[in-house]
Homo-oligomer: A and B are copies of this chain.
């Protein structure tokens, strides 16, 4: 039974293990700095399918199967999958997982979905009724571009603050206390809206949500950046990351030396023409699954705050002149069980 700490933080009663994790990406991601870490690289971004949406679903299926394979378990041992993505009506997940034959609860927190799944999954395991829960999400550059912006064929120019949607899917499998990495605490975020209306500047829209959740967590747990090896946001990109460090400093927290962002880790901004960095639900999910969690399991990293961020806009809300609400969910992941 999770214990409430402060206002919005829940500490696991006994540590919940992330027993398996897998990240599947495509060509552009394989040309970035994390190439050697991804579990599967499929250079064909159609993934053998005849539409980008079907490609995204296929990618989720591949990521789930890889995570199951790495755990050495079958899908029938998973008691619930917490799944979501950026496509309208979350079809990346529903079509990707429909043949799995296990209970599925759909989630939506935009690019923060993997943290929502990890947090809710850990709470379900901690509640003692569930023994194996999976969390999965995805994004695909080509399906996202045509849904959120322009058809690829149009060749629209991108602004300097724009981010590049990662083609990738990350899957995690949670279990009872078995091995590191361990989920120690979770903090479901509040929606923040500071009036940003530029849908090509999602980093600025999301930074206040990240700042709110991280400072809420620091206050709830009476800790600060010195207690952690890494504060990993995803996916604020360059603009949002700079803003987050400033916003935290205004509250008295100097996180600069400890902060990294999934959107800045996955691509090389000098050579890959991604403008402000990577984004998409698959960005934080694949960076966490393929790059960060192995480092926690090996002990190279010990205390990590994973703070995925999501911009809760839709093309319709933008067209109607609405500002952009955002959310950030936090999960404290540790190499130590106690």
Contact = CB atoms under 8 A, between A and B. Distances in A.
A107 B106 CA distance: 6
A209 B322 CA distance: 37
Nearest to A53: B316
B106 A108 contact: yes
Contact of A128 (B1, B8, B113, B317): B1
A242 B230 CA distance: 56
Interface stretch (A25-33, A58-66, A90-98, A263-271): A90-98
A86 to B, nearest CB: 8
A320 interface: yes
Interface in A62-108: 79-80, 84, 86-91, 94-95, 97-98, 100-108
Given A54-B320, A108-B107, A325-B94, A1 B129 contact: yes
A95 B316 CA distance: 12
A4 interface: yes
Interface in A101-137: 101-110, 113, 116, 119-120, 123-124, 126-130
Interface residues of A, number: 62
A109 B93 CA distance: 11
Interface of A: 1-4, 8, 10, 51, 53-54, 79-80, 84, 86-91, 94-95, 97-98, 100-110, 113, 116, 119-120, 123-124, 126-130, 147, 187-191, 193, 312-317, 320, 322, 325, 327, 329
17 contacts: A10-B130, A51-B320, A54-B320, A88-B316, A89-B312, A90-B312, A91-B313, A94-B325, A95-B322, A98-B191, A104-B189, A104-B190, A104-B191, A106-B107, A106-B108, A107-B108, A108-B108
